A = this chain, B = another copy of it.
Amino acid sequence: MERSSSSSTKMVSAVVFSKDSFFKMAREDEAANLVLITNGGIRSKIVTTSTTNTITANDKLVPHDDHLTTTRNIPNIPGWFAEDCPIWPGEAHFLKVEKILFEGKSEYQSMMVFQSSAYGKVFVLDGALQLTEKDECAYQEMMTHLPLCSVPNPKKVLLIGGGDGGILREISRHSSVEHIDICEIDTMLINVYKEFFPQIAVGYEDSRVKLHVIDGTVFLKSVSGGTYDAIIVDAFDPIRPDHELHKTPFLELVAKALRPGGVLCIQAESLWFKSLDLQQLYSKYRQIFKGSTDYAWTIVPTYPSGVIGFLLCSKEGPNDVDFRNPINPIDPNGSYGVAKAPLKFYNSEVHSASFCLPSFLKGKGIN
């Protein structure tokens, strides 16, 4: 399993796309220490790196139970679970645990599956809630169909992260799609989803899917220019300006891999969080992709603030992409693909509505 490496001065490009909407990002800080950032928040582990700034698999991998030793910002309640999310301090959404169904550790991270009394089965990765059976539809369907319904006849799609299979399941509904690549580094995660969330992992059963157990950045470097109609980055972390995924080098790789007029969908922060700076994000994405850029959001009760956003952008092409008015409608009855069930959340009305922003965001001169 290969990791990307870099010999640049400050930033070590160790973006590891691992599983089910999750990634780890190792970067070298000013003191040449490794800092591990996950969607469970920011956790630090001091690891002396070599002076050449070349990171090998061994020193990049922070033990998966590392988070257990860090200070918890929220209280523990026996029999209840809550994600400890230091970047949104002062609140915690607890779910009652009926039964823990699985606990395990892969080479990269710890996993837990539990039966909740309110949201069905829940998947937790290194302490961070990834998805629940009850509300995953709102995330997976929107993240997939917002980009795919905005372009005519998408044929080749790349998914980075999304190891649970839910986005694969949704891509599968599109009959125009001929090939789906997915980069997921943690095979154990895939297997856990297949065992406990078969209606989500069903996405892997689509014969058009090709799994690449490889770092997303490394994979992108190997891709011919202009390959994909759509790229979905399901890394499940809010957009922060200093994020590795939102750094120019990664985005330039994505832009190169897209065909002219191709589209990217990547998570963005909840509109409720002040750290969301749409102007800054739009500016950066427009500079790199040179097409249209827009922000949409959906409601997911078990995510912080109950809302999560998506940044959508298109690579400069013959026609501008108008994300707000889908041109590639999808059969709501789920008659195509492996889902074998109708859409639960997405429809064309919700698609367009998801771009409407509260006045406190419109006031920033966007939209």
Chain A positions within 8 Å of B, measured between CB atoms, are 74-75, 77-78, 80, 82, 88-96, 116-119, 134-135, 137-138, 272, 299, 301, 305-307, 332, 342-347, 349-350, 352-354, 356-360, 362-363
Contact = CB atoms under 8 A, between A and B. Distances in A.
Given A93-B93, A345-B358, A352-B353, 17 more contacts: A74-B94, A75-B94, A88-B118, A89-B117, A90-B95, A90-B118, A91-B94, A93-B94, A134-B272, A137-B358, A138-B358, A272-B301, A306-B307, A343-B359, A345-B359, A347-B359, A352-B356
Does more than half of chain A's interface fall in helix, strand or loop, or is it mixed?
A: loop
A51 to B, nearest CB: 42
A194 to B, nearest CB: 25
Contacts of A138: 358
Contacts of A88: 118
22 contacts: A80-B92, A82-B94, A90-B95, A90-B116, A90-B117, A91-B96, A91-B119, A92-B94, A135-B272, A137-B358, A138-B358, A272-B299, A301-B307, A332-B359, A342-B359, A344-B358, A344-B359, A346-B359, A347-B356, A347-B358, A347-B359, A352-B353
Nearest to A75: B77
Copies of this chain held together in the complex:
2
A276 to B, nearest CB: 14
B93 A91 contact: yes
A144 B358 CA distance: 15
A65 B93 CA distance: 26
Contacts of A116: 90-91
Contacts of A299: 272, 299, 306-307
Q: Which 6 pairs between the two chains have the least Cβ-Cβ distance?
A: A306-B306, A90-B118, A90-B117, A353-B353, A353-B356, A90-B96
Contacts of A358: 137-138, 344-347, 350
Nearest to A299: B307
